[in-house]
């Protein structure tokens, strides 16, 4: 797994999983919602990112009993959650700095 900072799509995928375990298609819709329809993940992006996140142990497959065929959920690992917390702190700080810089001078 590459080092921080995360790219936008990956960040949103992880953020989606931060609330609850989800399967792929559910992530797709959740990201759409969260970003108010601004970010539409393609399946290529999604499954590519999930593969890398699994490999880096940020997420893991989450087995449920009565899950219909071909359907599988993912959830954050402890590592993934920790990293996301760091990433969110970083983001909040960046938002503050950005706000200061851009707010100044003519709006």
Partner DNA sequence: TTCAATATGTCGTTGCGCGACATGTCGCAT
Partner DNA sequence: ATGCGACATGTCGCGCAACGACATATTGAA
Give me the residues that bind its own copies (CB under 8 A), please: 4-5, 7-8, 11, 15, 18-19, 34-35, 38-39, 81, 84-85, 88, 90-92, 94-95, 97-99, 101-102, 104-107
Classify residue 41 by its DSSP letter.
Answer: -
- Of 2 and 106, nearer to DNA (C-beta) is 2
Closest by alpha carbon to 18, among 105, 100, 87?
87
Please list every residue from 23 through 62 that binds DNA, using CB under 7 A: 23-26, 28-29, 40-45, 47-49, 51-52
Contact in structure between 22 and 30 (CB atoms under 8 Å): yes
């Amino acid at each position: 797994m590459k080092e921080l900072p995360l790219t936008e799509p990956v960040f949103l995928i992880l953020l989606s999983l931060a609330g609850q375990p989800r399967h792929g298609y559910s992530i797709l819709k959740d990201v759409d919602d969260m970003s108010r329809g601004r970010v539409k993940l393609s399946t290529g992006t999604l499954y590519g990112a999930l593969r890398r996140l699994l490999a880096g142990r940020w997420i893991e497959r989450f087995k449920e009993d009565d899950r219909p065929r071909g359907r599988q959920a993912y959830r954050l690992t402890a590592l993934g959650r920790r990293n996301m917390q760091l990433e969110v702190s970083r983001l909040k700080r960046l938002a503050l700095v950005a706000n200061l810089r851009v707010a100044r001078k003519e709006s």
